Amino acid sequence: METILHDIQRRILTELMHHETEQRYSDLQLPDIENDLYNYHLQNLVKRKLISKAGSHYTLTQEGKQLISKFNSLGDVQQFFKVSVALAVFRNDYTEILVQKRLRNPFYGDITSVAGKILYGEKIIDAARRKLLEETNLAAQFSFIGVIRKIKRSKDNTILEDTFYHYCIATDPVGVLIEKNSFGENFWSPMSNFMQWEKENNDTGEYDIAIWNRFMKKDFSSFYFEQDVQIKQY
């Protein structure tokens, strides 16, 4: 693991994390690393089957995506068992919700609410405020509502992720929305559209839908669910 997570290799994997499609050798090259050293670590990742090579193009394998699911956006390794916040941010009397089209692997292209990891020692509400500001440039007052544990499995039943999501709700945030950054594309959506996207996401399960149906009915009573699903695509 220490060899795999050499700083140069981690930086290469982090660069691939932010691209949906295959990347050329030159697109991935690190400007401050000499070519021979960069190529050594790139080929090492291919040898370890974390990256696949097709011609002059490179892409993450499933094993690579599984590994980077333990990264934060900067490529630093997180503990295997993840703890996150999921933000339900509404406006116009809960008829519209803030959503994000994900622009990083895994689950590149899924459309759902903003979510992110809770830092070591960070309080849940503080994490919700931080993630909202970091990813959208908005600020809001949050309330903690409930928790869902999401165990995500591949088609062969391998556990890919195991995460506790702490749902926090806010209404009418302030600030100027950042429409696109390295996290994703942010926009306001009618709840009806959001529900359709949520059903189509790669890791959606029955309790995801149950939670959002509660919110549509303005039911903010506390909850705890455990969800164990095979995902459509990682």
The answer to whether residues 197 and 122 belong to one domain is yes
Does residue 181 lie in a domain region?
yes
Whether 224 maps to a domain, the answer reads yes
Per-residue pLDDT of the chain (234 residues; tens, 9 = 90+): 444 578 899 899 988 888 888 899 988 888 899 999 999 999 999 999 999 999 889 999 999 988 887 777 666 665 567 899 999 999 999 999 999 999 989 899 999 999 999 998 999 999 999 999 999 999 999 999 999 999 999 999 999 999 999 999 999 999 999 999 989 999 999 999 999 999 999 999 999 999 999 999 999 999 999 999 999 888
Does 122 lie in the same domain as 59? no
Whether 56 and 87 map to the same domain: the answer is no
What confidence score (pLDDT) does residue 75 get?
Answer: 65
**The pLDDT value given to residue 21:** 85
For the chain, the domain total comes to 2
**Within a domain: residue 147?**
yes
Q: State which residues form the domain around 180.
A: 82-230
- Three-state DSSP state, 195: helix
Nearest to 225 by CA among 233, 98, 214, 178: 214
Indicate whether 159 and 99 sit together in one domain: yes
Check residue 1 and give its pLDDT: 43
Residue 96 shares a structural domain with residue 212 = yes
Instruction: Check the CA dihedral 5-110-131-158 and report its sign.
Output: negative
**Domain-located, residue 102:** yes
Model confidence, pTM: 0.74
16 part of a folded domain: yes
| Residues 50/63, Cβ–Cβ less than 8 Å | yes
- Has residue 76 been placed in a domain? no
Burial class (CB in 10 A: 0-12, 13-18, 19+), 80: exposed
Same structural domain, 119 and 154: yes
Q: Are strands 57-60 and 115-117 parallel, antiparallel or unpaired?
A: unpaired
> In this structure, are 218 and 193 located in the same domain?
yes
Residues 19 and 45 in one domain: yes
Task: In whole angstroms, give the CA distance from residue 128 to residue 138.
Answer: 11
CA distance 112 to 126: 21
